[in-house]
């Protein structure tokens, strides 16, 4: 198998992880303490808090 | 007690932030109870069950904070409400200025990726009903996902894992508590040295315990891939576990692989074992609570977390560390001498679900039938988690204890309440507690647990008996909460400290077996006495 044939997740181990954090803000400090680049997303429930509508919007790529 | 309820509209806070605000408010105002929850349906049901729901909260939406304050004194309630609003205001992002706007965090994963264009992993811990939607958004942006959130419907898990597999991406979770990727601890994770042993597991605390023991044996971890607890079900088919095995097979750092999981569905188990046989590296498999199985070829089967760590270390080239079977018996001898004959039962109060399963497995093998809210296959399920009777192993991290509350590894309140309740039961011989250190966990668990252990033991003593409390600490000397210091604080409080979850289960089993044997011997003596 060539590198190009390998699934993309195999590259996860090939370099230093960079993280987008969505949810518990406490994880951001832990990661930064480990020297990891992390961007925190100030998340709020979308679609007026309706989980089914949020799932539908996500399927539609919104 | 008067209860005052109100809503802070249109402001989202995660459960840990809300817990912090509650605790600070109680500390500063002396008010008896503060409950802060987002206005989701499950949180409203929780308030209903707790007798704290009121008409004022019915209109709360999932993006609103429900505020409930209870006390006998109206002035304390008013002071607490002022304190809560002041803290919420203090935590809100400051807006208005151009500078603040420029520094404002992104509001979506797309916005996050726009800033971090080399990002390759999304760590998602939003409430369960929204988690799959966020995971899909991350996958669309080409990110691998660690989905910390639990309570994600299994059909959604299957859907996101299939999307991930099509894109060649990895989804660790849902309900994935821990992972280590290239030395980076994610979620609840301990600080362990890097080394040659790669882990993959459907059990968060199981992975943590095995990696900590490997570290304490002087070895290290290359990677730890969490799959989430439902991955090995027939519906999901072990998608992440099989991907994890592929990752570890290809990883040059990984010389030995260890798998830690509850027993997978039979079809998944077969696929996992077949894949393990083919990866060309030694593999240790611990399907905790499953039927014992013989080792064959490169696949080594184990039945406890301690044995898994020892076997992996031995295969990595070190002398196999010794077992502490003797110390379980020695501890039982030490403890049982001070117990009264009525004290026969074990109460395991666990924050880690895997520890709860492992204890049940070890107890059952010795003929001890325990009931649990997370029972092994064929064991009795606790009808009411508040009930205290007979031998019990309780997983306090399960849904019935965590809706609207932080996990018991972060918030020890529920566990301490339960510890004190069990201490008042004259039939209890021994209480078992796990203390999980590392990132994400409580910053100083022994500081709050040690006084509670002292109170529990004093309460039993005031009723004329001693109470055994066995603790094990899942952690390392490199964790933010130093391992030896935590152990020392718990030992000073009178807890018996053992080196692993397995040892704690064995030692408690030895105590219960000894008390039952003494009881039946006394019964025989009484009968013989009556015959004379």
Q: For residue B35, what are the CA distances in angstroms to B69, B189, B385, B405, B446?
A: 6, 28, 21, 9, 24
Of B41-50, B214-223, B247-256, B357-366, the one with minimum mean pLDDT is B41-50
Q: How far apart are CA A24 and CA B32, in angstroms?
A: 27
Answer yes or no: is B106 within a domain.
Answer: no
Tell me B381's DSSP state: B
Residue of B nearest to A20 (CA): B122
pLDDT of residue B320: 64
Percent of chain A clearing pLDDT 90 (strictly above) = 24
Q: How confident is the model at residue B418 (pLDDT cuts 50, 70, 90)?
A: very high
Q: Please list the alpha-helical segments (H only) found in B141-253.
A: 154-167, 204-216, 239-250
**Where along chain A do its domains lie?**
15-59
- pLDDT score, position B26: 87
pLDDT digits (tens, 9 = 90+) for B336-377: 999 999 999 999 999 999 999 999 999 999 999 999 999 998
For A54, name the nearest residue in chain B, comparing CA atoms only. B133
Of the pLDDT bands very low, low, confident and very high (cuts 50, 70, 90), residue A4 is: low
Which structural domain, as residue segments, surrounds residue B456? 325-519
Same domain, B367 and B447: yes
> Shortest CA distance to B73 belongs to which of B26, B21, B22, B32?
B32
B 354-373 residues with CB below 8 A of A? none
B135 pLDDT more than 60: yes
**Structural domain contains residue B531:** no
- Among residues of chain B, what percentage have pLDDT more than 70? 93
- Domain assignment present for B241: yes
pLDDT for residue B100 is more than 60 = no
- Asked if pLDDT for residue A57 goes beyond 70, the answer is no
Q: Are residues B505 and B367 in the same domain?
A: yes
**Burial class (CB within 10 angstroms; exposed 0-12, middle 13-18, buried 19+) of B406:** buried
Q: Are residues B65 and B199 both part of a single domain?
A: no
Say if CB B468 and CB B475 are below 8 A apart: no
Q: Which residue of B has its CA nearest to A58?
A: B133
Instruction: State the best of A5, A17, A60 to mutate against chain B, taking most chain B CBs within 10 Å.
Output: A17
The pLDDT of residue B531 is above 90: no
Count of structural domains within chain B? 3
Please tell me the distance in Å from B81's CA to the nearest CA on chain A. 23
B177 and B261 part of one domain: yes
* Distance of residue B451 Cα from the nearest chain A Cα, in angstroms: 26
CATH number at residue B278: 3.40.50.261
- Chain A hits for B65, Cβ within 8 Å: none
Mean pLDDT for all residues in chain B: 90
Q: What percent of chain B has pLDDT over 90?
A: 70
- Contacts of residue B122 in chain A, CB cutoff 8 Å? 19-22
Name the nearest CA neighbour of B291 among B299, B281, B277, B301.
B301
The answer to whether the beta carbons of residues B138 and B154 sit under 8 Å apart is no
Higher pLDDT, B175 or B525: B175
B357: left (phi over 0), alpha (psi -120 to 50) or beta: alpha
Q: φ and ψ at B222, to 5 degrees?
A: -85, -55
Sequence-distant (≥ 6) Cβ neighbours of residue B388 within 8 angstroms:
B347, B421, B422, B425, B428
CB contact under 8 A, B181 and A43: no
Nearest to B169 among A9, A31, A46 (CB): A9
In angstroms, the CA B122 to CA B187 distance is 11
User: How far apart are alpha carbons B230 and B224 in whole angstroms?
Assistant: 17
Q: Is the pLDDT at B241 greater than 90, yes or no?
A: yes
Nearest chain A residue to B251 by CA distance is A13
- pLDDT tops 70 at residue B232: yes
**Residue B507 resides in a domain:** yes
Residues 136-195 of B with CB under 8 A from A: 136-138, 140, 142-144, 148-149, 156, 167-170, 181-182, 184-187
pLDDT tens digit sequence for B48-93: 888 889 999 999 988 889 999 999 999 999 999 999 998 888 765 4
**B109 neighbors B100 (Cβ within 8 angstroms):** no
Tokens 């958004």 belong to: B137
Partner residue opposite B185 with nearest CB, options A34, A39, A46: A34
| Rounded Cα gap, residues B206 and B188, in angstroms | 12
Shared-domain flag, residues B369 and B512: yes
User: What is the structure's pLDDT at A2?
Assistant: 55
pLDDT of residue B129: 85
On whether any CB of chain A is under 8 Å from the CB of B242, the answer is: no
B51 plus B134 within the same structural domain? no
pLDDT digits (tens, 9 = 90+) for B165-219: 999 999 999 988 899 999 899 999 999 999 999 999 998 899 999 999 999 999 9
The answer to whether the beta carbons of residues B400 and B410 sit under 8 Å apart is no
**How many Å apart are CA B224 and CA B179, to the nearest integer?**
5
CA–CA gap between residue B13 and residue B92 (Å, rounded): 9
B321-325 long-range contacts (CB < 8 A, ≥24 apart) are B321/B217, B324/B498, B324/B499, B324/B500, B324/B503, B325/B506
pLDDT class for A1, splitting at 50, 70, 90?
low
B473 and B383 fall within a common domain: yes
Domain co-membership, B271 together with B338: no
> Is residue B416 assigned to a domain?
yes
Helix H or strand E segment including B261: strand B256-261
Same domain membership, residue B346 and residue B282: no
Give me the pLDDT at residue A32, please.
Answer: 92
Average model confidence (pLDDT) for chain A? 79
Q: Do B138 and A20 touch (CB under 8 A)?
A: yes
pLDDT at residue A5 in the model:
65
Same domain, B146 and B293: yes
pLDDT category, A59, cuts 50, 70, 90?
A: low
CA distances from A59 to A22, B132, B218, B457, B481 (A): 18, 10, 47, 55, 42
Q: At what angle do helices B239-250 and B154-167 cross, to 10 degrees?
A: 40
Nearest by CB to A12, from B115, B120, B134: name it: B120
Q: Are strands B468-474 and B428-436 parallel, antiparallel or unpaired?
A: parallel
Determine, for residues A22 and B126 on separate chains, whether the beta-carbon distance falls below 8 Å.
yes
Query: Is the CB of B93 less than 8 angstroms away from the CB of A59?
Result: no
**Residue B218 confidence (pLDDT):** 93
Closest-approach residue (CA) in chain A for B254: A13
Cα nearest neighbour of B185 on chain A: A31
Query: Where a domain ends, among B315, B340, B356?
Result: B315
Q: How confident is the model at residue B527 (pLDDT cuts 50, 70, 90)?
A: low
Query: Does any domain span residue B283?
Result: yes
Residue where a domain stops, chosen among B24, B57, B91: B91
Q: What is the pLDDT of residue B19?
A: 82
Q: Residue B99: is its pLDDT beyond 70?
A: no
Least confident of A2-6, A36-40, B294-298: A2-6
């Amino acid at each position: 198998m060539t590198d190009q044939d390998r699934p993309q997740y195999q590259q996860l181990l090939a370099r230093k992880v960079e993280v987008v954090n969505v949810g518990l803000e406490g994880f951001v400090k832990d990661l930064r303490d480990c020297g990891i680049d992390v961007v925190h997303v100030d998340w709020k429930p979308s679609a007026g808090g309706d989980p089914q509508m949020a799932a539908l919007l996500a399927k539609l790529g919104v | 007690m008067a209860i005052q309820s109100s809503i802070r509209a249109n402001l989202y806070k995660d459960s840990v932030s809300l817990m912090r605000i509650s605790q600070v408010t109680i500390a500063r105002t002396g008010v008896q109870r503060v409950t802060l929850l987002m206005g989701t349906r499950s949180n409203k049901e929780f308030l209903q069950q707790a007798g704290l729901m009121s008409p004022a909260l019915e209109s709360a939406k999932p993006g609103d904070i429900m505020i409930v304050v209870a006390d006998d004194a109206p002035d304390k309630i008013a002071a607490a409400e002022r304190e809560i609003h002041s803290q919420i205001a203090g935590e809100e992002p400051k807006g208005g200025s151009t500078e603040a706007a420029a520094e404002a965090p992104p509001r979506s994963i797309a916005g996050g990726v726009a800033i971090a264009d080399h990002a390759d992993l999304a760590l998602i811990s939003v409430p369960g009903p929204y988690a799959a939607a966020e995971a899909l958004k991350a996958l669309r942006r080409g990110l691998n996902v660690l989905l910390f959130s639990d309570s994600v419907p299994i059909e959604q898990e299957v859907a996101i894992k299939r999307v991930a597999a099509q894109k060649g991406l990895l989804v660790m979770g849902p309900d994935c508590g821990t992972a280590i990727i290239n030395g980076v601890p994610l979620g609840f994770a301990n600080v362990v040295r890097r080394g040659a042993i790669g882990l993959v597991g459907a059990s968060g605390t199981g992975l943590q315990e095995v990696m900590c023991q490997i570290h304490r044996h002087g070895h290290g971890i290359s990677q730890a891939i969490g799959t989430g607890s439902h991955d090995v079900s027939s519906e999901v088919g072990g998608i992440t576990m099989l991907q994890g095995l592929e990752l570890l097979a290809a990883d040059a750092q990984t010389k030995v692989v260890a798998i830690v999981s509850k027993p997978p569905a039979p079809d998944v188990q077969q696929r996992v074992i077949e894949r393990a046989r083919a990866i060309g590296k030694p593999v240790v498999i611990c399907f905790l609570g499953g039927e014992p199985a013989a080792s064959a070829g490169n696949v080594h089967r184990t039945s406890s977390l301690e044995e898994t760590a020892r076997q992996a270390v031995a295969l990595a080239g070190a002398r196999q560390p010794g077992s502490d079977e003797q110390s379980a018996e020695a501890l039982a001898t030490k403890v049982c001498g001070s117990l009264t004959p009525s004290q026969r039962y074990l109460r395991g109060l666990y924050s880690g679900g895997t520890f709860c399963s492992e204890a049940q497995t070890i107890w059952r093998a010795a003929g001890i039938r325990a009931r649990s809210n997370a029972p092994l296959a064929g064991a009795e399920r606790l009808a009411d988690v508040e009930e205290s009777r007979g031998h019990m192993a309780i997983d306090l991290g399960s849904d019935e204890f965590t809706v609207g509350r932080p996990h018991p590894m972060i918030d020890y309140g529920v566990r301490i309440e339960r510890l004190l309740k069990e201490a008042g039961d004259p039939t209890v011989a021994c209480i078992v507690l796990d203390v999980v250190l590392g990132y994400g966990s409580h910053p100083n668990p022994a500081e709050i647990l040690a006084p509670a252990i002292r109170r529990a033991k004093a309460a039993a003593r005031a009723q004329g008996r001693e109470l055994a409390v066995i603790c094990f600490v899942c952690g390392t000397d490199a964790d933010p909460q130093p391992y030896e210091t935590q152990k020392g604080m718990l030992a000073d409080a009178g807890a018996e400290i053992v080196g692993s979850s397995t040892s704690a289960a064995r030692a408690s089993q030895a105590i219960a077996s000894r008390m039952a044997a003494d009881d039946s011997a006394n019964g025989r003596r009484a009968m013989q006495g009556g015959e004379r």
